[in-house]
Amino acid sequence: MVKTLLPSMKLFYREYGTSQAPLVILHGLLGSSDNWLPQAKMLSDEYHVFVLDQRNHGQSPHSHDFSYAVLAADLREFIVDKKLEKPVLLGHSMGGKTVMQYALSYPDELEAMIVVDIAPKAYDVRHDHIVEGLKAIPVQQISGRSQADEALAAYVPQPAVRQFLLKNLKRLPDGKFGWRVNLPVIDRQLEAISAGIPEQGVCNKPALFIRGAQSDYIADEDRVLIKRYFPRAHLVTLNTGHWVQAEKPEEFVETVRKFLHAR
Nearest Cα residue to 101 out of 189, 1, 22: 1
Nearest Cα residue to 140 out of 180, 174, 182: 174
Residue 19 falls in the annotated catalytic set: no
| CB neighbourhood size of 7 (10 A) | 12
Number of H helices, E strands in the chain: 11, 9
Residue 63 falls in the annotated catalytic set: no
Question: Do strands 13-16 and 48-52 pair parallel, antiparallel, or not at all (unpaired)?
Answer: antiparallel
The residue from 32, 33, 60, 93 that is catalytic is 93
DSSP 8-state code for residue 82? T
Distance CA 83, CA 256 (A): 23
Helical pair 94-105 and 68-81, crossing angle rounded to 10 deg? 70
Distance CA 209, CA 232 (A): 11
| CB neighbourhood size of 101 (10 A) | 24
Active site residues: 93, 242
